[in-house]
Amino acid sequence: MTSSDDDTVLLALSHPGRRALLDALHERDGQSVTDLGQALPELGRHAVLKHLGVLEDTGLVTSHKAGRTRLCYLNAAPLVALAQRWLDDYALGWGQALNRLKSTSERRPEAMTTAAPLHRQAIVIDATPERVWTALTQECSSWFFATTLNSSLEPGSDYTYTYPDGRRAAEGTIIAADPGQRLEMTFSPTWDDAVTPEAPFRLVWSLAAQGGATLLTVEHYELDPSTETARQVGPGSLFLISNIKTWIETGKPMHD
């Protein structure tokens, strides 16, 4: 994130109405524009849409179309990038930051739907989609907790993410792999005893050219919000997209 990007995020956060919208999404993610209007009852729909547009332009909010409804999601990636401007100077570990951000990424239990993701996070990376695809599929050890993706990437084939000592961090099946565009898979975490017994979910990485950069989006579908898996992968994916951006743009691997 550049100084100009920092200024844009801070400017977006300076308005109390926009902070109220982010607070509402923190409380319950994936809300419609109508639902979010309740956070600003003194404003009309047009004004709410204008504030959401500012937040979406800065990347603090992302949206997803579910039928005729536009659902909005809190995207904390720009806040993490902004925080790193100072937190790195004090050598704060990722584990500590993850614990502090955990509450902002948890979702209250409610009925699942396959029409919309439970979590949706996005980040702009200063690289081509081809470069991001290479990092996503071949360089996981530098940004995904030192794991290696073992996969042919053929649709229907199995894959694993493994640690250097051979232990499995996750496993599943490749659903679709379109180089430079989309990687979709079933995802079963196996990194600790709390998540191993739980049901898999559908993980989707999407890449879209944005000028000379790439918009990288990660979404979690068919994931029960009441599970330990949901509680871990929500904030975890936020760090992963921040890690991959740092790796691609600076050549520095993620913090231990």
Reference 214, options 136, 135, 131, 143; nearest CA is 131
Alpha carbon 199 to its chain centroid, in Å, reads: 20
pLDDT at 75 over 90: no
Q: What's the chain look like in SS3?
A: CCHHHHHHHHHHHCCHHHHHHHHHHHHCCCEEHHHHHHHCCCCCHHHHHHHHHHHHHCCCEEEEEECCEEEEEECCHHHHHHHHHHHHHHCCCHHHHHHHHHHHHCCCCCCCCCCCCCEEEEEEECCCHHHHHHHHHHCHHHCCCCCEEECCCCCCCEEEEECCCCCEEEEEEEEEEECCCEEEEEEEECCCCCCCCCCCEEEEEEEEEECCEEEEEEEEECCCCCCHHHHHHHHHHHHHHHHHHHHHHHCCCCCC
Between 92-96, 185-189, 223-227, the lowest mean confidence (pLDDT) is in 92-96
Reference 25, options 35, 10, 16, 15; nearest CA is 35
pLDDT (0 to 100) of residue 28: 85
Spatial separation of the C-alpha atoms in residues 230 and 119, rounded to whole Å? 9
Burial class from Cβ neighbours inside 10 Å (0-12, 13-18, 19+) for residue 201 reads: buried
pLDDT at 232 over 80: yes
Spatial separation of the C-alpha atoms in residues 181 and 71, rounded to whole Å? 22
| CATH T-level assignment (fold) for domain 108-256 | Alpha-D-Glucose-1,6-Bisphosphate; Chain A, domain 4 (3.30.530)
**Average pLDDT of the chain, as a whole number:** 85
Spatial separation of the C-alpha atoms in residues 184 and 239, rounded to whole Å? 19
Q: Using pLDDT thresholds of 50, 70 and 90, give the confidence band for residue 107.
A: very low
pLDDT (0 to 100) of residue 116: 84
**pTM score of the predicted model:** 0.66
pLDDT (0 to 100) of residue 29: 86
For the stretch 11-27, pLDDT in tens is: 898 898 999 999 999 88
pLDDT (0 to 100) of residue 86: 64
Instruction: Please count the other Cβ atoms lying within 10 Å of the Cβ belonging to residue 216.
Output: 27
The answer to whether 221 touches 117, Cβ cutoff 8 Å, is yes
Spatial separation of the C-alpha atoms in residues 92 and 85, rounded to whole Å? 12
Average pLDDT over residues 203-214: 93
What amino acid is encoded at 92 in this protein? L
Q: What percent of the chain has pLDDT over 90?
A: 54
Q: Using pLDDT thresholds of 50, 70 and 90, give the confidence band for residue 36.
A: very high
pLDDT at 94 over 50: no
pLDDT (0 to 100) of residue 101: 46
pLDDT (0 to 100) of residue 195: 95
